[in-house]
Amino acid sequence: AFCIRIFDSPEETEQYKEVIHMETRDLFMYRFKGPLNQYIEFQGHILRTLFRSYNNGIGVNMRQKPVKDMCSVIEAIFGNEKHSAVYSVVHSRSLEGEPGRILLGRIAGKVDCDPVAALDMEPEYVKAILEPLGMLEHPILFITDNQRPEILEKLLADPDIGPNIRLIPEEASWVGGDITLAVMADVFIGNPASSFSGFIAKSRVALGYETTYMFRKKNDDGEWVDVCDERRIFDHKVMKCMA
């Protein structure tokens, strides 16, 4: 499906007339040189293919460990109501403090979004997104790296947000399940400086979701607004190697 072949040994490449060797760093930093729309179309195809072939808890991975079901977190939280559940996901990623602020600041310099709001996830910021959509009446799932517990404490203390905050049970949480929970959410609020948020945002774009909030700032009237299309998460000029 991906037109990729994996070789187990260098000898297997001897059948080819030309082999291009690249260091791991060069592959990581590689940038597509075509138009952004073409890059998004190509990446979107890959992401849709991944989600058509998701792990369902059957079999083992490359380390011979049992695979988990990508939908297990949604199942643990909503059970039999998973197909009709209406919910939002807030992803709080601090990125080790100052490095995170530097990275988000660099992205803000490219698209003019707020340089700290997506890191701090203040109740005002979250409410400005959820209230106009009528989502304060529904569960708000909180995913975090636990580096700044005060963020969750503020959200729980807020009279409008707190009653609907729900945490993922520790025994159910795992990276694949958390990603699926966020990708399938009616609303996703993330941090563009986080590659985890970035993957979720890209997947949502590929699957046709439009309520993804990553790049925001206050306008002259003090209102929170989107500063650009969420598809900028694919833009190498903005995201560099995270695009």
Let me know the angle formed at the C-alpha of 100 by 114 and 148, rounded to the nearest 5 degrees.
Answer: 95
pLDDT at 102: 95
Q: 2 falls in which pLDDT band (50, 70, 90)?
A: low
Amino acid at 15: Q
Secondary structure percentages of the chain, helix, strand, coil, to 5: 45, 10, 40
pLDDT at 219: 97
The packing angle between helices 175-183 and 195-206, to 10°, is 50
Average pLDDT, stretch 41-68? 89
pLDDT at 3 over 60: yes
Question: Which structure tokens are listed for 196?
Answer: 């985890």
Report yes or no: 200 and 188 within 8 Å, Cβ to Cβ.
yes
List, in sequence order, every residue forming a beta bridge with 66; answer none if it has no partner: 60
Q: How far apart are CA 143 and CA 89, in angstroms?
A: 7
Distance of CA 56 to CAs 1, 23, 68, Å? 18, 34, 7
Tally of CA atoms within 13 A in the half-sphere of 108 that contains its CB? 17
Q: 29 falls in which pLDDT band (50, 70, 90)?
A: confident
pLDDT at 62: 76
Q: 72-101, pLDDT tens digit by residue? A: 999 999 999 999 999 999 999 988 889 999
Tally of CA atoms within 13 A in the half-sphere of 93 that contains its CB? 18
Mean pLDDT across the chain, nearest whole number? 93
